[in-house]
Structure 1
Amino acid sequence: MWKNNTTDSNRSPLSRRRFVRAVGATGITAGIAGCGGQQATQTATQTQGGGDASATETESTATAVEVNSESLSLIQELAYVTNQTLPVLPLQEKLAQSFQTTDSWDVPPKDSPKIQTYWPTDWLPRYGEWTATDGSSDERLTLAQWAVPKDSQYNTWNAKNFAEPRRTLFDRFMNYNLKTQEYSGYLVSEWELNGDTLSMTVREGQTWHDGTPVTATDVVNQIKLDIYNGGSLGRFVAPDDEGAVADRVTAVDERTAELTLATQVNEDILLAYLQPKYLVAHEETYGEFVTRLDEAGSADERSTVLGELTSLAVSEPVGSGPFEFENADTQRTLVSKFEDHPDAGNINFPEVEYLYKPSNQSRWNSLINEETDGSATLFVPSNKLNQLPDSVQTSLIPRHWGMGLVFNHEEEPVSDPRVRKALAHVINREAVAMNSGAGTNSKIAVTYPTGLTSEFSGQVEGTWLDGVTDQFQTYGRGASQTEKAASLLEEAGYRKQGGTWGKDGQALRIPIKGPSGFSDWVAGAQTAVSQLDQFGIEAEPVMKDNSAYWGQDYVNGNFVVGLQGWASYDNSHPYFHYKFMYDSSDSGYWNVPSELDAPVLHDQVRDGETVAPGSLVSKLSTASE
């Protein structure tokens, strides 16, 4: 019999990045509950192991995305390196459930293109697509928020309790359709990239809630503060000298802001960094920080100012959106329509309230009991979906990411790519997707583990891998390929005795750590563990408290195999997914080597099997479309 090896590694802590940085240490529980699900689009050939296909089978139609030959070759080469080395194992791609009630409200049909934005609660009211049915002057839209309302704050650079009402209190720079992957103007009504200069025009009629006009200077201040605070846009604007921001982000006139780039940037990538920004940088609140950061004479001085900025809590914001802050207590936040907003005429209800609903269960019950009128995104399992009133419709929105296995490349046995590939051959991704969907068909299995998204629309084969799919491994999407897995393990020196694989007297053991609060991920991990056990690998799920997993185990690399989204969520362009995998600021937790050995797909991209994926990612960011 083989002996278990339970040695854990101890490392010095890494800086807390990505997930923890995005939601804040105290907002982890809030962030995780927003993991939404949606019915995946499947073709008839994609249903093996996926349950009842008859109810969900739809012919996939690829979304047309323009990409030139230089970009496509880089994307395909990165996809090939990923497919051949598996620094992560993508298991499923998700779509998000978004809910709207239709008894007192007029909303687009659930399959309308108007729904396919991030998020419907942001955009539909602005465009007059979510209105009170009878136009009653006392109708109130009721939604939910995770954080205690009176403890919520609205300083976007302070990650603690940046609350849901931000969606209506502030305007985003642009709109983005997640399905068609098209940008349209909003607060930034027009833009033009000419060489190394991006010009942005502020929409006419934009007004702060204190009555002052929104100007190009406000847009400039928003971008500056984001860059000074470490925003990714800085790598293209001031990659080497933070002090250069003052000269590279400027207001040309009242309505025109200019961004001078330090290097050529792919326009789709540049817009993806700008589009999600909310205009929060009201001059009276944040102007002094911009001035002090522009004039800071040293890194220490700049750090001091940033410390003050990121610790500032703003509980009563001056907003830029169609609703303005009224009040907040322990149970709700109330905002009222701001009549001077350009889109106020599209909105026929006077108020939005956000009720304190800190758990999935409380939100499920609020929809079931018709206490709330909808939800931006929420994972609802089938047993709860079946309890929803007929007036609640479930809309389905792409998220461009999903659950995967990330491997700590400094830990045996997964430091060996042959072991990673063997795991991929054993795990039936169809079953993982079905079970993690909890009966909702909300996940679709990844066909080609490449780091590319848009499985649901056929874009992986139809655009990104067009012409080269026969060069890529599927590793058995819907069925275990145990013979191939056994061959790889034997090549790596493992032998099977008494039904268990092992080497040098030690059982081949794969502990999979993850956050216990992600119910869909837990179900998916348990499915994978069961499959590995049946094959003879001693696998076990190690589910930790959410804050302990993200804040301790994950960020300190204290795992052999961990659960994580395998792509940069809500971004469709492959650049962001490969930056996430191969840029150490993200994948440093997994200790992915800077160089990998993989066969060559395109000779014009690289001339040897040793490749530094990070360099290809950098080239992709500057490849023109």
Structure 2
Amino acid sequence: MPENADQPNAPALSRRHMLIVGTTGLATGLAGCGGQEATDDSGSTGDGNGGGNGNGNGNGNDTEAGNDTAGNDSDGGNETNPDQFESTSLAMTQELAYVTNQTLPVLPVMEKLAQSFQATDDWNVPPADDERMQVYWPTSWLPRTGDWTLKEDAEDDRLTLSQWAVPADSQYNPWNGTNDGEARRTLFDRFMRYNVSTREYHPYLISDWTMDGTTVTLQVREGQTWHNGDPVTGTDVANQLKLDLYNSGGAGGIGPYVLPDGDLNAVPDRVQGADETTAEITLDREINEDILLSLLAPTQLRAYDGTYGEFVQALDDAESEDERSTALGELTDFTDPEPVGNGPFQWEDADSQRTLVTKYEDHPDAGNINFPEVEYLYKPENSGRWNSLKNGETDGSATLFMPQNQTSQLPDHMQTALVSRHWGMGIVFNHDQEPVDDVRVRKAIAHVINRDDAAKNSGAGTGSKVAVTYPSGLTGEFDDQIEGHWLEGVVDQFETYGRAEQQTDRAAELLQEAGYERQDGTWQMDGEPLELPIKGPAGFSDWVSGVETIVSQLQEFGIESEPVMQDSATYWGGDYSEGNFKLALQGWASYDHTHPYFHFDWIFQSGDATDSWNVPSEFEAPVLHDDLRDSETIAPGDYISELATPEE
């Protein structure tokens, strides 16, 4: 049965909105992890939830989890401008955002801004508030574009950074999943670059791309070579995509759009090196180009045919599940400690304390780089990284959570930039549990919580958390992408709930409508107090601070609540994954992307949503766009699928 929405209490609609005639920019980028003060980071790029499901990152460090972005154009090639898209996808985005806002399947609380550090004594770098800093990560992209350069009077011409894994134990086979070395950021190139501010894709290792129906063609950048001098080929690009498909069982990345019914036997025919400089993908169905690009752009080319070709061949030739399993096991067991890369720096050596990479003069961007080496020092704990930034041992950090009592000790020449993660802490509800199966109770909770205070306390004085203005499933608080783009023309129809101040009168009305009454300062029903404990991972220090603020607000209002913080294994692998909670903490957006399609898919259709949160498949929600929806009963999944479909 559809879940009842609190329709009488929705914002008054003076008129029903028609489909807006306009354009929509479809944006994608990276979001990240929980900000826990942890001591290890393998650098893996998966969910990283410490044994649980979904977006929670169990190691809690700001790891590289997906798209790199760049704020600079490159010459030639293909560019995707957001203004090419028609109005229907924007209207669908707004409709799904409205359903989310009116029914609160989850309660988005804050967006995360990662701290990134750059030394300015020996280095020329953009100012902290420059849009060029909105890249994943500054240490990866700015040297490539000539925006992180050595000053003429610098005392040391080596860029020194840090890494989590023991350098001598690091290896660079991403399908192995262990000890992926931090030097990967400079050793390998990504397929494309993405400008967060303009929402445009720019060529990089892939210099040109075309989509013709279900055929996608990817062209390798001219002059792109491996560090042994071999040219980067279409076969190498195809190898990368094939191994990603095989390793994920076809379930991740482009898999659902390429493989009919997840059939891995189709991989050799669906992904091929068409010629020396071109790879070709055959899709199972036509999809929105921006959705596909958001999946392809972050791909980091590792699959040099001379190293990985034999693994690809074995998987392509497998004639049974057992043969494929054996071949995949050989791939995931393989370690690659001295990789053949294709980025602007090449592997030199590693010992117990540091990894050294040296400039590769034949890289297309070598002319932008005026320093010869990058060194990654072994710093397995946040405290060690803080001290290295404070005493000048390192020249910066891609991203690192550093509380105010530490940033206040940084030297004047160390600047801190805040990089958007398009992700953040939210409260998820178990829709099979009373009383949060009642939308009026969920809305009352939202009205009580002051998200500004929760974000401020979670950020520990760093300004790295931004309160969500409109709980809608949309990200982009940091640069007005929500009001100024996604909700343009309809923002006045969206409820803010208790963002900046508690709206306790409205919360009280909702609880009374749901059958509760306040006695002796406590909300009760049939003599039983309203109890709403909030479970979460104890290691996520910023989340702990945020939830403590929220619990205090609920208690003050008369709801019995407490934070129930558990170790990562118990939480992610136990209570969270098993749905043993009423309220729990989790990332409310898909941290691999900024495009709303992925966020709505996460909220309504992910395994977490269906298996842990028990989100219903249908909701009752007021209509925003008459031309798009003529019933207040809505199955969000139908609209999410349409959002991934090309405009007619």
The bucket for the TM-score relative to the shorter chain is 0.7 to 0.9
After superposition, residues 190-229 of structure 1 pair within 5 angstroms as: 190-229=208-247
For 1:13, the equivalent position in structure 2 comes to none
After superposition, residues 293-308 of structure 1 pair within 5 angstroms as: 293-308=315-330
1:320 aligns with 2:342: yes
AA partner of residue 295 (structure 1)? D
Secondary structure at 2:117 match in 1? strand
1:359 aligns with 2:374: no
Determine which of 62, 69, 85 is the counterpart of 1:34. Answer: 62
AA partner of residue 114 (structure 2)? A
Q: 1:324 to 1:556 in 2, by over 3 A?
A: farther
For 2:268, the equivalent position in structure 1 comes to 246
1:463-484, CA deviations, whole angstroms, 9 ceiling, x for partnerless residues?
A: 2112222222111221111122
For 2:178, the equivalent position in structure 1 comes to 160
AA partner of residue 391 (structure 1)? H
For 1:60, the equivalent position in structure 2 comes to none
CA distance in 1, matches of 2:344, 2:566: 41
For 2:448, the equivalent position in structure 1 comes to 426
C-alpha deviation, 1:585, in angstroms? 3.0
CA distance in 2, matches of 1:135, 1:178: 33
CA contact (8 A) 1:70 1:623 kept: no
CA distance in 1, matches of 2:123, 2:232: 31
AA partner of residue 132 (structure 2)? K
AA partner of residue 381 (structure 2)? S
Give the superposed CA RMSD. Answer: 2.4
Q: 1:498 to 1:30 in 2, by over 3 A?
A: closer
For 1:7, the equivalent position in structure 2 comes to none
CA contact (8 A) 1:198 1:259 kept: yes
AA partner of residue 69 (structure 1)? S
For 1:44, the equivalent position in structure 2 comes to none
For 2:254, the equivalent position in structure 1 comes to 233
For 2:189, the equivalent position in structure 1 comes to 171
Percent of aligned positions that are identical: 62
1:112 aligns with 2:130: yes
CA distance in 2, matches of 1:293, 1:493: 60
Which range moves more in the overlay, 302-311 or 108-117? 302-311
C-alpha deviation, 1:71, in angstroms? 0.1
TM-score in terms of structure 2 length = 0.85
CA contact (8 A) 1:265 1:624 kept: no
For 1:611, the equivalent position in structure 2 comes to 634
Determine which of 415, 418, 425 is the counterpart of 1:393. Answer: 415
Which range moves more in the overlay, 510-519 or 256-265? 510-519
CA contact (8 A) 1:23 1:159 kept: no
CA contact (8 A) 2:450 2:502 kept: yes
Q: 1:477 to 1:35 in 2, by over 3 A?
A: farther
Secondary structure at 2:93 match in 1? helix
CA distance in 1, matches of 2:233, 2:529: 65
CA contact (8 A) 2:423 2:589 kept: yes
1:22 aligns with 2:40: no
CA contact (8 A) 1:137 1:350 kept: no
CA distance in 1, matches of 2:547, 2:411: 32
After superposition, residues 520-539 of structure 1 pair within 5 angstroms as: 520-539=542-561
1:526-553, CA deviations, whole angstroms, 9 ceiling, x for partnerless residues?
A: 1101000001111111222234433433
After superposition, residues 433-582 of structure 1 pair within 5 angstroms as: 433-582=455-604
For 2:147, the equivalent position in structure 1 comes to 129
Secondary structure at 1:94 match in 2? strand
CA distance in 1, matches of 2:470, 2:154: 51
AA partner of residue 48 (structure 2)? V
CA contact (8 A) 1:138 1:350 kept: no
C-alpha deviation, 1:354, in angstroms? 1.2
CA distance in 1, matches of 2:45, 2:195: 26
1:86-115, CA deviations, whole angstroms, 9 ceiling, x for partnerless residues?
A: 111011122222111011112122222322
For 1:257, the equivalent position in structure 2 comes to 279
TM-score in terms of structure 1 length = 0.88
CA distance in 1, matches of 2:45, 2:618: 27
For 2:314, the equivalent position in structure 1 comes to 292
CA distance in 1, matches of 2:391, 2:83: 42
CA contact (8 A) 1:20 1:550 kept: no
AA partner of residue 93 (structure 2)? I
CA distance in 1, matches of 2:58, 2:547: 22
C-alpha deviation, 1:216, in angstroms? 0.7
Q: 1:226 to 1:29 in 2, by over 3 A?
A: closer
Q: 1:161 to 1:594 in 2, by over 3 A?
A: farther
CA distance in 2, matches of 1:150, 1:416: 54
Q: 1:592 to 1:559 in 2, by over 3 A?
A: same
1:181 aligns with 2:199: yes
